[in-house]
Amino acid sequence: MGLPVVAIVGRPNVGKSTIFNRLVGERIAIVEDKPGVTRDRLYGKGEWLNRYFHVIDTGGIEFGETDAILTQMRHQAELAIDEADVILMVTDGRAGVTDADQELARMLNRTGKPIVLIVNKIDNPDMRADIYDFYTLGLGDPFPVSGSHGLGLGDVLEEVVKHFPGGEEEERDDDVIRIAIIGRPNVGKSSLTNAILGEERVIVSDVAGTTRDAIDTPFERDGQHYILIDTAGMRKRGKVYETTEKYSVMRAMKAIEESDVVLVVLNGEEGIIEQDKKIAGYAHEAGRAVIIVVNKWDAVEKDDKTMLRFTELIREEFKYLDYAPILFVSAKTKQRIHTILPKVNQVAEAHSMRVSTSVLNDLITDATIMTPPPSDRGKRLKINYATQAAVKPPTFILFVNDPELMHFSYERYIENKIREAFVFEGTPIRIWTRKKT
C-alpha cells in the first residue's frame, strides 16, 4: 500500500500554503500575501504519531473565473482532490463564509471523500466565536487554527488520521517482482506497458490499484511472477490527465512506493527535460532499483554514434543514477522489448542481495589498506567493523571511531569498492556511519 494522501484545498489566499508548510515541516511552498501565488500542486510528506502521509498543496479554486491561470489552478486542484484519501478544506476566519466557500463545499461533498474543515487565521481565543458561521457549509465541526502560529493543527491531524484507509499492511510476496513504469506524459508509458505484457499475456486477475484508475496487472513470464504498476492509467477515464501539462507526480510517487523496480521512461525523440530528472529523482530517493528506458528509439535519426552520445547525455544529466542500466527500445516496433524483463530480474536480484559479514569486512579491510582513510587535524578515520543492515536497497553500516571524519569522497570510494566486488547493478546503495560503542 502507498502512503495515504491529504489534499489541502480552498479559495485563494486563505492560508493553504502556510498550513502545508506546517504539516511537512519545511518551507516548500512560497508564502506570499497575494492570491494565486501557489499555481501548481506541491507535494510533501507529513507525519503524525508515526503515521506518515503525503500532503498536496493546491492553487486556490475560484469558481466562474475565465482567467487562464485561475482555470488551470482549479484544474490542478481538482486533480489533487481526485488523488486524495482525505481533503482539508481551508477557510478564512476573518473573511467569514463566502459564496466561493459554499460552492467549494458543495463540490467537495459530491466527492464522497472524508473532508476536514479548517477555519484559519483564528490567531487568538477571542476570535473562536467566529467559527460558528462555518457550520452552514455542512461539512461537520469546523476546526479553528492559526497556520502562521501553528495553533490547533494537532486536533486537525487527529481527525485526519482517523480517515486513513486500512492501516493493515498487505502481505508482500517476495517472489513477485513489482514494476512501476513512470515518466512524464507522451513518453509512451501505456504503449510500453502493452508491449511488455504482449498479446499472449497471462493475467491472473485485474486488481484495482491503490492509485485511482491505475491497474496493477499481475502476469507471469518464464516462471517468474510480476505485477506491473501502471501510472499511465490503463483504464482511462476521459482526457483529464492527458490535457494537464504537469505530470501527476503523486501517482508516480505512490507507484514508486509500491514497487521493487522502477522503469524511468524517456522519449528518445525529444531528449531529456527537467521534468524527467525530477520524476527519476523520486525513484532514487525512495531507494528503488532503477532502469532507464529510452522509448521511441525507432523514430530517432541515427548514425553509428547516436546511442553512445545519448548514453553520455543521460550519464551527464542523471549523475545520481550512474548505477542504472540504460535500454533503448521501441514500444511501437517491439524493438529490444525482450531485453526489459531479463534486466528487471537482474536489478531486482541486486536490490535484494545480502553480503556476508565476513566477506564484507575482508573487502573493507583491503580497501582501507589500498587507500588509507583520510585524517583531519591529526586524527585519522578508523573503520572497525561493517555489516549489512538491510536490503531493498542494500544498506551498510560502518562502525567507526568518529563519524565526523568520514568524508563524502571516502564514502564514495567504499561504495565503489562494494560495487566492484558484488554486482549491484541498477540499485542504489546506502552507507551509514556509526560511532563504535
CA distance 128 to 130: 5
Q: Which strand ranges, in their side-by-side order, compose the sheet holding 5-9?
A: 42-48, 51-57, 5-9, 86-92, 115-120, 143-144
Q: Is 297 annotated as a binding residue?
A: yes
Q: Is 61 annotated as a binding residue?
A: yes
Q: Is 289 annotated as a binding residue?
A: no
Q: Is 183 annotated as a binding residue?
A: yes
Q: Is 231 annotated as a binding residue?
A: yes
Q: Is 198 annotated as a binding residue?
A: no
Contact yes or no for 13/60 (Cβ under 8 A): yes
Q: Is 17 annotated as a binding residue?
A: yes
Q: Is 141 annotated as a binding residue?
A: no
Burial class (CB in 10 A: 0-12, 13-18, 19+), 293: buried
Q: Is 60 annotated as a binding residue?
A: yes
Q: Is 233 annotated as a binding residue?
A: yes
Q: Distance of alpha carbon 435 from its chain centroid, rounded?
A: 32
CA distance 96 to 137: 11
Q: Is 267 annotated as a binding residue?
A: no
Contact yes or no for 408/373 (Cβ under 8 A): no
Q: Is 235 annotated as a binding residue?
A: no
Q: Is 268 annotated as a binding residue?
A: no
Q: Is 109 annotated as a binding residue?
A: no
- Distance from the first to the final alpha carbon of the chain: 37
Task: Report in angstroms the alpha-carbon separations of 406 from 245, 366, 397, 409, 434.
Answer: 43, 17, 12, 8, 10
Q: Is 13 annotated as a binding residue?
A: yes
Q: Is 238 annotated as a binding residue?
A: no
Q: Is 209 annotated as a binding residue?
A: no
Q: Is 325 annotated as a binding residue?
A: no
CB burial string 190-202: b at 16+ within 10 A, e below: bbbbbbbbeeeee
Burial class (CB in 10 A: 0-12, 13-18, 19+), 209: buried
Q: Is 121 annotated as a binding residue?
A: yes
Q: Is 58 annotated as a binding residue?
A: yes
Q: Is 417 annotated as a binding residue?
A: no
Half-sphere exposure (Cβ direction) of 302: Cα atoms closer than 13 Å: 15
Look up cell 541515427; give the residue: 302
Q: Is 10 annotated as a binding residue?
A: yes
Q: Is 186 annotated as a binding residue?
A: yes
Q: Is 12 annotated as a binding residue?
A: yes
Q: Is 358 annotated as a binding residue?
A: no
Q: Is 281 annotated as a binding residue?
A: no
Q: Is 298 annotated as a binding residue?
A: yes
Q: Is 188 annotated as a binding residue?
A: yes
Which positions make up the binding site for GTP? 10-17, 57-61, 120-123, 183-190, 230-234, 295-298
Which positions make up the binding site? 10-17, 57-61, 120-123, 183-190, 230-234, 295-298
